[in-house]
Structure 1
Amino acid sequence: MFGRFAQFETREEYLEFLNAGVEFVGARDGEPIGRYNVAPGTRVLLLNQRDDKLHLDPVHWGYQPAWAKESGRPPLINARVETAATGRMFKPLWNTGRALVMADGWYEWKKSPDDAKIKQPYFIYHESKEPIFFAAISRFHPDALDAQEDDGFVIVTAASDKGLVDIHDRRPLVMTREASLEWLSPETTPERAEELAHDCAIPADEFAFHPIGKAVGNIHNNGESIIKRIYNPLV
């Protein structure tokens, strides 16, 4: 399960890289976001397109519709690309709530083949160190004064391949810039969104990774030191 990432550059840098060609509603803040340890259950800036304008809204990472809450099911933070477009839980979000999460990389823990209790965290990022954008699906009420109980989003995940599978068998879905923009557009049909999700992911061999210290395991730790390479990994 994918459950931790970094979002530390400025809004301006993410938006400039995406180069959407669509009007952005809001301040192009030049202050670094500075979140090196983003965890589920927190509010995260979610990039979404409403009509012909882009918006950034703080939305809860995790989704639990009323029927799931009543049955005692915990909030979900990921949606598998293989089933998200058709399953009961996520189909409504896929159809009308597609969004992007801006990021600089994500974290995974590699298990020792000899002892599953021994895990080594890794930081994974684009080899160019350019911003990346996770495909997300969401439900929220941007015009409400207060967050609603069913507000939330999940990040779409895909199977890992090539070198990334050595770290973890799943990864967040990161599409090309062009596909990400089409994913956002309200004019994109759910069927076309499926095609994008399955055909336009950035190849695994364009990502790099390195081992990091255990500090990332505590969500209260936040700072650039978290992503620093270590040279004596456990795994």
Structure 2
Amino acid sequence: MSSHRKPRPTSNNFTQRAVRAGLLAAGVAGVATAVPAQAATAAPQHAAVASDYVFSHADRAHHTQAKDSFTIRQYGDVNAAGVRNQANAVSAGCSADDECRSVALSFQIVTFAGARTHLNAVNLSDAANKKCTGCQTLAGAYQFVVSTPTPITFDGDTRRQLDDIHRRLDGLTRSSLPATELKSRVDGLAAEVSSVLHDAVARAPKGEAQPSVTLHRHLDGWPGH
């Protein structure tokens, strides 16, 4: 069977730019602050960058590959921020009698503060079957951008709720659920994350600008969407 890959959306679908107070920015220039791979709280800074990437590859030697990431990155006041979240899954060389399953899921939570912060947010996923009849391949990227007038730090209750969602994401990723059901269940976890973040924002100090929680979601999968 020939290689199949869904056409990628244009870059405009992948890149979402926003600026507090309704301004648009062309991007983030001069961003050079490194960020730890997992949850981190950064000191106040002028610019910040974060990148998270999950990749899974299933083939005849490794019929099932399932990976996920759940990162929390909290920044203080920033003038500019560039954040990228990506998930890629590949199934290759298997058959209907010898199926492969590849799952890659990435949840990224980023918080920042500032009255006029230039934000460049990129969130994308891609699932590909390469000569793989009957294989199940799913890639999902979920990016949560939290913007507040003043810096916030998640309290213990918020952390516990997010940790619980992370544990359940791990379980779903490694489950044998059909791809269509898995998508629905993962979407449910994303909705829970959004709810927890909205509650945290509601308890944050108030300012002239309204706080916001924005979810960027991209799912790609075989068979079907």
Task: Please indicate the TM-score interval, normalised by the length of the shorter structure.
Answer: under 0.3
TM-score computed with the length of structure 1 as normaliser:
0.26
TM-score computed with the length of structure 2 as normaliser:
0.26
Q: Which protein has the bigger strand share?
A: 2
